[in-house]
Amino acid sequence: MNRALWIGLIGVLLTIALTFTARANHIIGGHMQMTNVNGEPGRFLIKLTYYYDLDRGTQPITPRLLFVIFRKRDNQLMDSLSITTPITSKDNLAKVPITNTSCPTGAQNVQWGIVEYQREIRLDPSRYTDPAGYYLSNQDCCRSGGITNLNGTQVGFTYYLEFPPMTGATARNSSPQFLPINADYMCVNKPFTFSCAATDPDGDRLQYSFTTPLRGNVTTLANLYTNALIPGPFPAITFNGGYSATSPIPGNPAVQLNPQTGILTVTANREGRFVFTVRVEEFRNGQKIGETRQDYQLVAVDCPNNIPPEPVATIDTYPVAADVALLCTGRTATFSAEPNPDLNYQWQRNGTNLNGATQPKLTVDQAGEYTVVVSFKNNCGQTNKSRTLTARSFEQTVQIEPPTKTALCSASDTITLRASTLPVTYNWFRDGTALGGSTERDRIVNQPGSYSVEIRDNSTGCTATSNTVVLTQAARPTATLTPPSGVICERDSLRLTAGGGATYQWRFNGTDVPGSTGTTLFAKQAGDYAVIVANAGGCRDTSDVLKLTIQPRVKPTMAPLAAVCGTDGPVVTLSGTPTGGVFSGPGVNGTSFSARQAGVGTHQIVYRSTSPGGCPGDTASQTIRVNALPTIQLPGEVTAGTQSIITLEAVVNGNGPFQYRWQPLTWLSGPTQATATVTNPERDTTYRVSVTDANGCVSEATVRVLIRARLGIPDIFSPNNDQINDTWQLFGIEAYPSAQVTVFNRWGEVVFHERDGYKKPFDGLLNDQPLPAGMYIYVLKLSPDIAPLRGSVVLAR
């Protein structure tokens, strides 16, 4: 517990503790209730009612009590609060009514006062969400003395109430509420009935059972408030031998508690003062959501056998045999018993004594079942009870049925108002003034105003007034129906729009269209359409009839499309009938198809026609294939000598088989093969090969054969001044006057370079110093149009 809460509790406890004496033995029984306020989650009226033993109690009434809320799942302290009572003197307490005042004497007196504590509180619903729920407790001390069936004196008392989480359907739940008790005596060996009933503000199902009374943790006033903070489970009382929670009163027949009504029955067979506890559980949708408990005391005395005569109870102004009085609104009924100066009278409603109702006559204004119990005024004896008289509220209601309309649409218009069918007289009113005339349930009216009807019960004279129906004077609406056209496109719908009213009913060929009550209707069938509109007052108008026809769809055709080779060809003209439609698809522009835009592949071209009236037509389609051209791999040029044989090979990819055609035929053989041969060419010549694939698509490529003098390149020379092979001679290099010769050592450094012809051969010297023997790399650029030649030469010493 946090420090602030402890400080608050300590202050409360000290304040309360200082008000007590050292001994307490005053509690007869009691209960708690928890009532939701105004349907607001977390807002409750907490009320504790207990009964003070005025004959035995010596303790002053505690002005303030401590209440504690715990969580059921783990007994966690949630909140604590103090509640006060406005009456602190037992002499000022209202008393529990006693049925038989002559019998109790001495130890068996039942003078009980009513003590009430109540306070409105606000709990935080977000903290009370545990599905297992919570319990509210107050622990006090002590029970009144002289109890026959309990073991021990100074027995403590615990008030206990369970409530559900403040979420969902139980967020605004109120606990059951026990009815006020009677201070009744049981006569030994006489059947006895006692009500332990409760009511539930939420209408939940209630179930009653005996349970063990709770002693709690308070044993003396010294620990009244420290021990009050101890959570459950709470210690129970101990019964004397022969008694238990379910058999708290000795009797034959044994004590019984009706689980549905809470009515206790017993024939006690010994005198004594007996304590018992009744638990009432509330159920909603088959699930328990809460409970509360009340402790009771019943006293059994040995009554003499003399019995007063049964009181004759009647209803004033009713026939003597009548047993039901009808309570008109604002009126009362009077019940009477024959007066007898030797008898005490105690009236009861629904089995509970009415405080102060001790005269032969009783005026009632509440519905219920009433009896009067009589006992001897001057000597002890049995009691006797009258027959039951029932006061029933005049609950007859009357309603004016909703009229077909609430507005008079013209000066001559009428509306029929109709009230509930009842065995009564009807008096109709307009603007609070009686209309007179007909007293039947139907009334035809032709003026605006506020109408109501009063009914009068023909047997009791009770009256009731109906609801009010307001009629107005209104102009008739003007129905409008707006179509975009007079035709419905085949396999489509036409949106119709209405206006001029508050409600609408569409009609087709003179019949209402089910469910069509909006401002729009999508018409799909040919026929006659209209709409009935009504304004807020119910005045109606029907539009002119709109005749709609179906426009059939046009069925177009489209000319076939031939395959296209490659993406660089001309555009293809598209054609469809009837004309005026729209082409769509990859590569389509207007009435043309572009293979370049569409790309290689198979493409679907769609032609959509239009129908008269702007209706869409059907579509036709054709496919067009854009074939890829075959690809040819062929060198750009080949260099050869005049006395050489050159092989030209076209490597083709595509859709074979392929057809080949080489041109020109000069020095060429195999002109229809993939590989052609050029033999002993005498001059530079460009050859062209045409390749046709299986789709008839043609590609071309060229190769230029260049005739060059033969070049001899030695792979070794020995610059040792023996006049033999002292320089690197390139035989035939004179045919290439623009040749460039470059030699590199093993580290990539240039050791020799000659341009514009090989006029001075490589002699193995660099800066007039001999180069080391080894392998050197050369690059020969014979001319700008001939690829460089690369190789190696060995310098030997």
What's the burial of 517, exposed, middle or buried (CB within 10 Å: 0-12/13-18/19+)? middle
Q: Which of residues 301, 325, 351 is at a domain's end?
A: 301
For 699, the 3-state DSSP assignment is: strand
CB 292 within 8 A of CB 32: yes
Per-residue pLDDT reduced to its tens digit, 332-363: 999 999 999 989 898 999 888 887 888 999 99
Q: Does any domain span residue 401?
A: no
Tell me, yes or no, whether 505 and 622 share the same domain: no
Is the pLDDT at 473 greater than 90? The verdict is no
What's the pLDDT tens digit per position in 357-380? 889 999 999 999 999 999 888 887
For residue 20, the model assigns a pLDDT of 41
Burial of 219 (0-12, 13-18, 19+ CB in 10 A): middle
Band (222; pLDDT cuts 50, 70, 90): low
Distance CA 587, CA 291 (A): 81
* Residues 666 and 757 placed together within one structural domain of the fold: no
Identify the domain boundary among 707, 724, 742.
707
- The residues with which 793 forms a beta bridge, in sequence order, are 776
The 10 Å Cβ neighbour count of residue 731 is 11
For residue 17, pLDDT over 50 is answered with no
Q: Rounded to whole angstroms, how far apart are CA atoms 680 and 700?
A: 25
Are residues 382 and 320 both part of a single domain? Answer: yes
Instruction: Give the residue-averaged pLDDT of 293-299.
Output: 94
Structure tokens belonging to residue 180 = 């006020």
The model carries a pTM of: 0.52
Q: Name the β-bridge partners of 213.
A: none
Give domain status of residue 400, yes or no.
no
Q: CA angle, 18 as apex, 16 and 19 as ends, to 5°?
A: 70
For residues 103-124, give the mean pLDDT: 83
The answer to whether residue 402 sits within a structural domain is no
> Is 292 found in the same domain as 242?
yes
pLDDT score of 660: 96
Closest CA to 55 of 31, 28, 21, 23: 28
Residue 126 makes CB contacts below 8 A (sequence gap 6+) with none
Return the percent helix, strand and coil in the chain, to nearest 5.
Answer: 5, 45, 50
Residues 50 and 103 in one domain: yes
* C-beta neighbour count of 772 within 10 angstroms: 10
- 532 lies in the same domain as 589: no
In a domain, 601, yes or no: yes
SS3 state of residue 6: helix
Per residue in 53-72, pLDDT tens? 988 887 888 888 899 999 99
Q: With a cut of 90, say whether residue 418 has pLDDT above it.
A: yes
Percent of the chain with pLDDT over 90: 62
Alpha carbons 683 and 686: distance in angstroms, whole number: 10
- CA end-to-end span of the chain: 108
**Per-residue pLDDT, 238:** 92
Q: Is the CB of residue 147 less than 8 Å from the CB of residue 90? A: no
| CB-count exposure of residue 218 (10 Å: 0-12, 13-18, 19+) | buried
Pairing of strands 527-534, 540-542: antiparallel
CA 640 → CA 244, 300, 705, 785, distances in Å? 129, 143, 7, 13
Question: Domain check: are 235 and 320 in the same one?
Answer: no
Residues 445, 464: one domain?
Answer: yes
CB-CB contact of 248 with 275 (8 Å): yes
Position 72 in a domain: yes
Question: In this structure, are 7 and 151 located in the same domain?
Answer: yes
Contacts of 378 (CB under 8 A, 6+ apart): 102, 342
DSSP letters along 446-492, please? -S-EEEEEEEEETTT--EEE---EEEEE-PPP--EEE-S-SEEETTS
In this prediction, residues 559-576 reach a mean pLDDT of 93
Over 50: is that where the pLDDT of 11 sits?
A: no
Q: How far is 294 from 199, CA to CA, in rounded Å? A: 13
Can you tell me the mean pLDDT for 473-479?
82
pLDDT in tens, 742-777: 999 999 999 999 998 899 999 999 999 999 999 999
Mean local confidence (pLDDT), 562-567:
93
> Do the domain assignments include residue 399?
no
Which DSSP string do the residues of 185-212 spell out, in sequence order? EEETTSEEEEE--EE-TT--EEEEEEEP
How wide is the angle at C-alpha 86 spanned by C-alphas 82 and 90, nearest 5°?
A: 110
Both tokens of 766, joined, read 């660099």
Is 628 within 8 Å of 695 (Cβ atoms)? no
Please state whether the peptide bond connecting residue 657 to the residue before it is cis, i.e. omega within 30 degrees of 0: yes
> Does residue 8 have a pLDDT over 50?
no
Strand locations in 536-641 (E) = 540-542, 546-551, 557-558, 564-565, 572-573, 576-577, 582-584, 588-589, 592-593, 601-610, 616-627, 631-633, 637-640
Q: What average pLDDT does this structure show over 587-603?
A: 94
CA distance 441 to 443: 7
Query: Burial letters for 25-35: b for 16+ Cβ neighbours within 10 Å, e otherwise?
Result: bbbbbbbbbbb
- CA 142 remoteness from chain centre: 51
Which 3 state secondary structure label does DSSP give 513?
A: coil
pLDDT of 530 over the 70 cut: yes
Q: Does any domain span residue 85?
A: yes
- pLDDT mean over 393-406: 88
pLDDT of 229 reads 83
Tens-place pLDDT, residues 669-695:
999 999 999 999 988 899 999 999 999
How many other β-carbons are positioned within 10 Å of the β-carbon of residue 486? 12
Residues 159 and 238 in one domain: yes
C-alpha–C-alpha distance, residues 429 and 438, integer Å:
11
Within a domain: residue 133?
Answer: yes
Q: What is the CATH number of the domain that holds 425?
A: 2.60.40
Q: Is it the case that residue 134 has pLDDT exceeding 80? A: yes
Give the pLDDT of residue 154: 61
**Residue carrying the six token digits 């069925």:** 555
As a three-state string, the secondary structure of 75-138 is CCEEEEEEEECCCCCHHHCEECCECCCCCCCHHHCCCEEEEEEEEEEECCHHHCCCCCCEEEEE
Mean pLDDT of 105-126: 86
Quick one: 783 and 761 in the same domain? Answer: yes
* Model pLDDT, residue 353: 81
Mean pLDDT taken over the chain: 89
- What is the model's pLDDT at position 111? 84
Residue 767: partners with Cβ closer than 8 Å, 6 or more residues away: none
Examine the pLDDT at 219 and tell me if it is beyond 90.
no
Q: What is the mean pLDDT of residues 707-733?
A: 89
* Residue 377 token pair: 């005024």
Is 573 found in the same domain as 468?
no
Least confident segment among 9-23, 174-188, 302-316: 9-23
Burial 119-152 (b: 16+ CB within 10 A, else e): eebebebeebebeebbbbbbbbbbbbbbbbbbee
> Residue 687 sits in a domain of what CATH number?
2.60.40.10
Domain boundary among 301, 334, 355: 301
> What mean pLDDT is predicted for residues 114-118?
95
Instruction: Give the number of domains in the chain.
Output: 7
122, pLDDT greater than 50:
yes
Tokens of 533: 């509109």
pLDDT at 18 over 70: no
The dihedral formed by the CA atoms of 574, 575, 579 and 580, expressed in degrees to the nearest 10: -10
Per the structure, the complete domain to which residue 734 belongs is given by 716-795
CA distance 164 to 42: 12
Distance from C-alpha of 779 to C-alpha of 774, rounded to nearest angstrom: 17
Sequence-ordered list of residues with C-beta below 8 angstroms from that of 371, at least 6 positions apart, any chain? 313, 347, 348, 385, 386, 387, 388, 389
Residue 107: the pLDDT is 55
